[in-house]
């Protein structure tokens, strides 16, 4: 996967390569990587994922999913090794700053 570049760290200003070794280490639970799906040209995202890795996090994500649905927002819950992820797929790209809120 050479050529895939992630965010630029503030300390060095240099892009990071997402290598097969980094992915392997993440999948084995050795490290955690966070990837952001932000179009650099528009600063917009097509989806949002909420990652919750603590005891009873699935219960909290289910509650959040319920309340989002009450507001007309559909989501998809995914169980992970340490908790879960709540995915929200957007009908149209939204500014990343709004997605973070």
pLDDT digits (tens, 9 = 90+) for 56-79: 999 999 999 999 999 999 999 999
- Please, what are the domains in the chain? 1-35 (no CATH), 36-100 (3.30.1370)
pTM, full prediction: 0.66
Ordered DSSP codes for 73-101: ---EEEE-SSSEEEEEEEEEEEEHHHHH-
pLDDT reported for residue 3: 39
pLDDT reported for residue 6: 47
pLDDT digits (tens, 9 = 90+) for 23-41: 888 888 888 777 778 888 9
């Amino acid at each position: 996967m050479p050529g895939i570049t992630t965010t630029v760290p503030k300390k060095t200003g240099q892009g990071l390569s997402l290598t097969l070794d980094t992915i392997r280490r993440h999948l084995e639970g050795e490290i955690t990587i966070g990837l952001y799906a932000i179009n650099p040209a528009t600063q917009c995202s097509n989806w949002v994922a909420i990652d919750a890795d603590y005891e009873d996090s699935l219960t909290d994500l289910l509650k959040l999913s319920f309340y989002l649905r009450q507001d007309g927002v559909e989501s998809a819950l995914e169980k992970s090794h340490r908790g879960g992820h709540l995915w929200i797929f957007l009908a149209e790209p939204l500014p990343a700053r709004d997605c973070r809120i």
